[in-house]
Amino acid sequence: MNILVCSAGRRAKIVEYLKKELKSVNGKVIATDCDRNAPALYFADDIEIVPKVDSSNYIEAILDICRKHKINSIFSLIDPELEILASHKNLFDENQIKLIQSPLETIQICFDKQKTYDSLQKLSLPGVPTYSDINKVEELIDSGELKYPLIVKPRKGSASIGIEVIYSKNELVNIFSKDDNLIIQPYYKEREFGIDVYIDLLNGELIDIFIKEKLRMRSGETDKSISIHNNRIEALIKDFILKFNFKGPIDIDCFEYNGEYYISEVNPRFGGGYPHAYEMGCNFMEYILCNIKGEQNKGYSGYKYNKGYIMMKYDEILLQKL
């Protein structure tokens, strides 16, 4: 059983955890990236350097790697690649390679922040109000329904790239004059939570939930967090999963504002804060292996971890002779 981890980047722990679990079945982790200096590559059993994900020959290169290493399954660690892989699911199916990710339609909703909010609204789920029409936002500000500061971010983006806090109409107009493919949200960030969730690849059932309060962020990823039990967030996530078609690992951001909880963003992949969940016993790698073997995981029955444990990331150095 060999698994391909695409666009491994800096996610060395994900590769390391998967490699550890695959030892039990004599499997290997093959990691890819377009950058030979991506550190996570060197934690895998073997590496492959590939074209950028938007290259015309990208899928062909991935399929060649799969044939070379006898790959059974694939997952990616970056948002843009999820859609590309899902768009070519038929090719992977023909080659008996399983994609460890959600369906294309779900990925497209999650990657578009306006579509994410609109979908939450239709399903009566609480989301952070999201607007892509600056004129509508100005009307809401004039009527007192919205107030500064506001959050402006790319409609399609990841890793917190391009996020700005706006404090005045002049700033808002100025930023939209440069790029109109943006969304606007109220500043709801009193407390922020990250939720790691695993959905069974075979039957679509909820398998595990890990809730952490984010204490510090760095470059769009959780740098420090504390494990918590929160029954209201747990109930919200269970309702959310029932109403959407997710598969495999997903990462959900949730804000608390005025005593209520709101879903902010959904990433249908491993999140940067997943190591906290793994170290606390939420072993998504084990669930993946179970599914690849054609077995269903045991459904969710409550918290599998203790609360009150803080994860603190720190820098390490890797020297590699090329």
DSSP of 207-241? EEEEEEEEEEEETTEEEEEEE---HHHHHHHHHHH
Closest C-alpha among 216, 208, 218 to residue 301: 208
pLDDT at 188: 86
Task: Compute and round to an integer the Cα radius of gyration of the chain.
Answer: 20
- Which residues of the chain carry a pLDDT beneath 70? 158-161, 219-220
Tell me which architecture the domain covering 2-99 has in CATH: 3-Layer(aba) Sandwich (3.40)
pLDDT at 158: 64
* Predicted confidence (pLDDT) per residue in 106-129, tens digit: 999 999 999 999 999 999 999 999
Q: Write phi, then psi, for 37 (nearest 5 degrees).
A: -95, 15
pLDDT at 221: 76
Nearest 5°: the CA angle 221, 120, 260 is 70
Please state the domain extents for the chain.
2-99, 129-186, 189-312
What superfamily in CATH does domain 129-186 come from? ATP-grasp fold, A domain (3.30.1490.20)
Pick the CATH number of 189-312 from 3.40.50.920, 3.30.470.20, 3.40.50.150, 3.30.365.10: 3.30.470.20
Nearest 5°: the CA angle 316, 269, 54 is 90
pLDDT at 316: 81
pLDDT at 288: 97
Q: Write phi, then psi, for 305 (nearest 5 degrees).
A: -140, 165
CA distances from 265 to 143, 156, 220, 232, 314 (A): 27, 11, 12, 18, 25
Check the CA dihedral 129-132-137-139 and report its sign.
Answer: negative
What is the SS3 assignment for 10?
coil
The Cα–Cα gap between 211 and 254 comes to 10
Closest C-alpha among 188, 187, 179, 83 to residue 132: 179
Sheet holding 46-49, edge to edge: 46-49, 28-33, 2-6, 73-76, 98-99
The Cα–Cα gap between 204 and 27 comes to 25
The Cα–Cα gap between 173 and 66 comes to 48
